[in-house]
Amino acid sequence: SNNISVLIVFVCKDYTASCSKQRDCSYDDACLTLTERGGQTYRQCLKYSDCEYSRLGQMFPQVSSFTFKCCNSDLCNSAPSSSASSLIGLLASLAVIWWCMH
């Protein structure tokens, strides 16, 4: 087996928890998931040494408040499986709102 392993991560910027676009990170060694408070989720390659709050704040100046996590195995920045349950909760609350309006 060769020592040159290329990390594969999900690469997206959107408001949904699902992400299927994949990319290999030739020079970066980590997967970033950065979630803007009440906003978009950014998924991309990153250098693991850049994975700290102040550095990410400089890299994403348009995002004022965020949480993030970094990991370094293939496709480890996929959406959490818990997003399905929160979607069901969202649909349920929308159904209640719709029902109350009619």
1: in domain: no
pLDDT at 85 over 80: no
pLDDT tens digits for range 21-56: 999 888 888 999 999 998 899 999 999 999 999 999
Looking at residue 84, which CATH number applies to its domain?
2.10.60.10
Range of the domain at 22: 7-101
pTM score, whole prediction: 0.68
Which residues touch 39 (CB under 8 Å, ≥6 apart)?
A: 15, 63
Q: How many domains does the chain have?
A: 1
Q: pLDDT band at residue 102, thresholds of 50, 70 and 90? A: low
Q: In angstroms, how far is CA 70 from the centroid of its own chain?
A: 10
